[in-house]
Amino acid sequence: MKTQSFLSYFSEINDPRSHVNKLHDLNNILLIGVISTICGASTWKQMEDFAITKIEFLKTFVDLPNGVPSDDTFNRVFSSIDTKEFEKSFVNWVSSLTQSFNNEVISIDGKTVRGAKSQGEKSPVHIVSAWVNQNNMIVGQVKVDDKSNEITAIPELLDLLFIEGDIITIDAMGTQTEIVKKIVTKGADYVLAVKENQKQLLSEIKDEFLFAKNIKTFEHIDGGRGRIETRICSVINDFQFITNENEKWKNLKQVVKIESVREFKNSHKEIEKATRYFITSLDEGPEKILSYVRSHWGIENKLHWILDVQFDEDQSRKRNENAAQNYSIVLKIALNLLKNEKTVKQGIQGKRLKAGWDNSYLLKLLNIKV
């Protein structure tokens, strides 16, 4: 039985339960939680029902001397285990799968678990995640503290990650001098959006593009889905107006402008135009910079959208203590395993169904040999 390769990365999580009347091993509860989630479970009761239905199969690689955990046990465990320990274990596990990234784009963005709110109050759970688009991997997450925001959570996430040699992309919320310093100190580069939250910087960038004579540009035309989108990426590396005293924006090499025009075929919709600005520590040409910016949206399209549509995360009503954020980690473990299984040419939903029906495929997903 070779479950150790998966579970060993979570073995340092402290079991918060009393040893009195403890019937189930913590690792087994975590493993069954992940397996049942892969196969479609989304509530504690469904985890229990799945385990009851599959008990003979589970016994081939899991010790279950006291039967399967109850829904109350799943609830208590996932509500009470330390989220920071779980997050750190998750990052270590992902690192073991990927070994190392080199010149990868790691996109960082936040998402609110809307179903966790109670009686019309603001949702208490907002999670910042890191996504590697080329590898289709979630590589880390941290929960935003209740009385804080993404600005404080992003450095915590960066501290967890191994990012040397990589490129970090973040939306305008993360364009902060301390975050830039953290990225550079860890040996990574950045491409960060600039909006009104950095008014002076935004104004100076606009002046650069208004008066600069040496601007490098690249145009990309993308057709499909009933529309034509033209993107022009322009970069400047010889600054006249940007004040960067004492290297406030550490390692700033270029400013970037991306103009997009979206035209709709066979439609009366008006042409959509947008202009966005960025700063970067890279000295690469506009074609490369455009590709890095575009890859950032993978975190929305391939992570947040799938978590909501395929895993119903936004509908999850888990509110007790740490339940919502710990369950979010379980979802991301499941999604990483499903996305990186390449032998079955199906979408996430098809793979989840197959895993529920086909025990041998489920074992392949988990890399378990029995």
Query: What are the residue ranges spanned by the domains of the chain?
Result: 4-84+318-366
Q: Please tell me the predicted confidence (pLDDT) of residue 302.
A: 85
**Average pLDDT of 116-128?**
62
Give me the chain's average pLDDT, please. 87
Average pLDDT of 303-330? 80
Residue 53 in this model has a pLDDT that exceeds 90: yes
d(CA 155, CA 184): 12
Q: What average pLDDT does the segment 124-151 reach?
A: 83
More confident position, 267 or 244: 244
Is residue 260 pLDDT above 90, yes or no? yes
Nearest Cα to Cα of residue 113 among 265, 302, 298, 331 = 331
Per-residue pLDDT, 166: 93
- Residue with the bigger pLDDT between 314 and 85: it is 85
Q: Which of 98-107, 116-125, 230-239, 304-313 has the lowest mean pLDDT?
A: 116-125
H helix runs in 39-149, sequence order: 44-53, 55-58, 71-80, 83-98
Lowest mean pLDDT among 9-13, 33-37, 82-86, 245-249: 9-13
Query: Residue 343 pLDDT more than 80?
Result: yes
Tell me the CA distances in angstroms from 208 to 201, 219, 231, 241, 245, one per residue in order. 11, 20, 19, 6, 17
Tell me the average pLDDT across 121-125. Answer: 60
Q: In whole angstroms, give the CA distance from residue 260 to residue 220.
A: 9
Closest CA to 200 of 177, 167, 171: 177
- What percentage of the chain reaches a pLDDT higher than 70? 90
Cα separation values, 226 from 64, 268, 300, Å: 54, 12, 21
- Give me the mean pLDDT over the 317-339 stretch: 85
- Alpha carbons 3 and 179: distance in angstroms, whole number: 38
Residue 98 has pLDDT above 80, yes or no: no
DSSP state of 122: P
Residues linked to residue 255 through DSSP beta bridges, in sequence order: 236, 279
Report, as an integer, the average pLDDT of 335-350.
89
Question: Long-range contacts for 308-311 (Cβ within 8 Å, ≥24 apart)?
Answer: 310/348, 310/349, 310/352, 311/37, 311/42, 311/335
15: phi > 0 → left, psi -120 to 50 → alpha, else beta; which?
Answer: beta
The pLDDT score that the predictor gives to residue 341 is: 85
Per-residue model confidence (pLDDT) at position 366 = 85
Instruction: Give the angle 165-138-340 at the CA atoms, nearest 5°.
Output: 100
Across the range 289-313, mean pLDDT stands at 87
Please, are residues 265 and 237 in contact by the beta-carbon 8 Å criterion? no
pLDDT at 92 over 90: no
Q: What pLDDT was estimated at residue 297?
A: 86
Taking the CA atoms of the chain, what radius of gyration do you get in angstroms?
Answer: 23
The terminus-to-terminus CA distance of the chain in angstroms comes to 5
Three-state DSSP class for residue 79: helix
pLDDT of residue 2: 40
Q: What mean pLDDT is predicted for residues 357-365?
A: 92
* Averaged pLDDT for residues 64-83: 93
pLDDT at 231: 95
Confidence at residue 215, expressed as pLDDT on a 0 to 100 scale: 95
Contacts of residue 121, Cβ cutoff 8 Å, sequence gap at least 6: none
* Range from 78-82, 196-200, 244-248, 353-357 carrying the lowest mean pLDDT: 244-248
The 10 Å Cβ neighbour count of residue 365 is: 23
Per-range mean pLDDT, top range of 20-24, 314-318, 366-370: 20-24
- Kindly report the number of other CB atoms within 10 A of residue 262's CB atom: 16
Q: For residue 320, give every residue at least 6 positions away whose Cβ sits within 8 Å of its Cβ, in sequence order, or none.
A: 75, 79
**pLDDT over 90 percentage in the chain:** 54
Least confident range of 116-125, 179-188, 306-315 = 116-125
- For the cut 60, the answer to whether the pLDDT of residue 165 exceeds it is yes
